[in-house]
Chain A
Amino acid sequence: MSMDLSDGILVRRVREGEVELFAALVARYRDRGARFATRMLGRSEDAEEALQDAFVRAYRALDRCDDPDRFDRWFFSILANRCRTAGARIGRREQTFVAEEEGVPRAAVPHPAERSAWREELDRAVGMLDTDQREAFLLKHVEELSYEEMSEITGATVSALKMRVKRACERLRFTLQGAYTNG
C-alpha cells in the first residue's frame, strides 16, 4: 500500500512521525543503491555497510531534504558520499590490485562457474578507475542519469563530469580491449 505513495508523500509523512513508512523508501531504492555501492566499492559487504549507513543518515537528515519529490537524487548524493568515504577507508584498490599485480598466475585463479572471464576483467577495470571517474561512469552509463542530475548528486560541474566520463571510457576501452576480443 505504502509502495504506491510518491517519494514526496512518503518523505513528508515520515517527517510527521510515521517512521515505518521509511521502509517503503528503503525498499524502493535498496536495489539501485546496492548496485551502485557494489560497483563503487567492489565488495558486497562494504557496499551493504555503506548503503545501510546512507539510509540511516538520510533518515536522520530527512528534514534537510529540500525537494521531497526528488528524494532519489538526494539519497544518491548521500550514498555517493558514503561510498567515497568508505572507499578511502578501505583502500580497496591497493588491497585488491596490488596483490594481484604481485603475481598470482591468472591461470591458477579459479573462475566461479557463474562468473565469466569478461565479468572478472570488467570488475577489475572498473576498480582501477579513479574514484571520480568510476562514480561519473556509473552514474552516466549504469544509472543512466543526465549530466544535470549527476551534477546535483556529486556537486561537480557538468563539464567536469563529462570529462570524467570521457576519461573513464578511454581507460575502460584500453583495459578491456583484450578481454573483449578474447571473450
Chain B
Amino acid sequence: MGDEHDMNDELDVELADELIARAATSLREPVATSAGFDARVMAEVRGRRSRPWLLRARTLRVSPIAGLAAAAAISAVTLLVPRLTTLVVPPVVSTVVPVVATEAARAAATVLATHAADAAGLQYVQFVFVAPAARKVAVVGSFNDWDTAKTQMVRGPGGVWKAMVPLTAGRYTYSFVVDGARWQADASAPRSVDDDFGAPSSVITVAPRP
C-alpha cells in the first residue's frame, strides 16, 4: 500500500515536471514585433521623426461639392466629441479637405495638403482642444520635438481648436500650449507618467494598421 502510494507520488512529480518543461518550451517560442518597430523606437530616440512627406507637398484637385461634403463630415466627427480628445481619421480625408470653404478648414487644409503625400504607414490623428478664450494653441509632443512653432492648431466655431498630425503606429506623449505659455495635458487621455520636460503631458497610442 505504502509502496503504491510512493509510486503514485513519483509519477505525479514526473508528470508535473514534464508539464512545466512543456509550458516553458511553448512560452519560449519567438514573438515578432510589428513592421517598423525598430524605426519607431529610433525616431523617438532621436527626438525627431524622419519626415520625407514634408518634402513632397502636392496640389490636390477635387470638386467644390466633394470638398464641402468632406468639410461637413469632418465637422460632424469633431463635434461629436466636444471635449478634449483625439481621433484617428483615415488618410483619404486629407485629399478632399483643401477646397473647404470655411476659414478654419482652409487653414487646416494647408497642413493637410502638405502632409498628404506618401502616406504609407501614416495615420492622421486629429487633436482637438476646447479653449474659447485662447488667442492661439499649439500641440507639441514627441512627434514634433516639443516645438511650439511646428503644429499650430486652427480655431473653429465655439473655440474648438484642431490640428491634424500624421503619425506612424506607436506611443507618443503630447501636450497643448495655450497662448505660447500655458502647457496643458489632455484631460480625456491617459496622463504621461513622465510629464516630459516637467510639464503636464498625455499619452496617445496609435495602433498599427490592420
Binding site for B on A (CB under 8 A): 19-20, 22-23, 26-27, 30-31, 34-35, 38-39, 44-45, 47-49, 51-53, 55-56, 59, 85, 89, 118-119, 122, 125-126, 138, 141-142, 169, 172-173, 176-177, 180
Asked if A173 and B20 sit within 8 Å, CB to CB, the answer is yes
B207 to chain A: which residues have CB within 8 Å? 45
- Interfacial chain B residues near A56, Cβ < 8 Å: 41, 44-45
Which residues on the A side are within 8 Å of B16 (C-beta)? Answer: 169, 173
Residue ID in chain A nearest B44 by CB atoms: A56
B25-66 vs A, CB cutoff 8 Å, 1 = contact: the mask equals 011111111100110111011100000000000000000000
- Chain B residues lying within 8 Å of A34, measured Cβ to Cβ, are 31-33
Do the beta carbons of B24 and A26 come within 8 Å of each other?
no
Main secondary structure of the interface of B (DSSP, over half): helix
A172 touches B19 (CB 8 A): yes
Which residues of B5-32 have CB atoms within 8 Å of chain A's CB atoms?
A: 15-16, 19-20, 22-24, 26-32
Verify if B180 is at the interface (C-beta below 8 Å from A). no
Chain A at the B interface: mostly helix, strand, loop or mixed?
Answer: helix
User: Nearest CB to that of B24 among chain A residues?
Assistant: A141
A180 pairs with B22, CB closer than 8 A: yes
Is the Cβ of B42 less than 8 Å from the Cβ of A35? no
Instruction: Decide yes or no: A52 and B170 within 8 Å by CB, A26-B41, A119-B26, A122-B23 being known contacts.
Output: yes
Q: Which residues of B contact A (CB under 8 A)?
A: 15-16, 19-20, 22-24, 26-34, 37-38, 40-42, 44-46, 170-171, 190, 193, 205, 207-208
What is the bound-complex CA distance between A152 and B141, given in angstroms?
34
A126 touches B41 (CB 8 A): no
| Nearest CB in chain B: distance from A83 CB, A | 13
**Number of residue pairs spanning A and B whose beta carbons lie under 8 angstroms apart:** 89
Is there contact, CB below 8 Å, between B37 and A141? no
Other-chain contact of A176, B19, B28, B32, B42 (Cβ < 8 Å): B19
Q: Which of A34, A45, A48, A125 has the most CB of B within 10 A?
A: A48
Contact B171 A85 (CB under 8 A): no
Would you list 29 pairs from A and B whose C-beta atoms are within 8 A, ordered by A residue? A22-B42, A23-B42, A26-B42, A27-B38, A30-B33, A31-B30, A31-B32, A34-B32, A34-B33, A35-B27, A35-B28, A38-B31, A44-B31, A44-B34, A45-B205, A45-B208, A47-B31, A48-B34, A49-B205, A51-B33, A56-B41, A56-B45, A126-B23, A141-B23, A172-B23, A173-B16, A173-B19, A176-B23, A180-B15
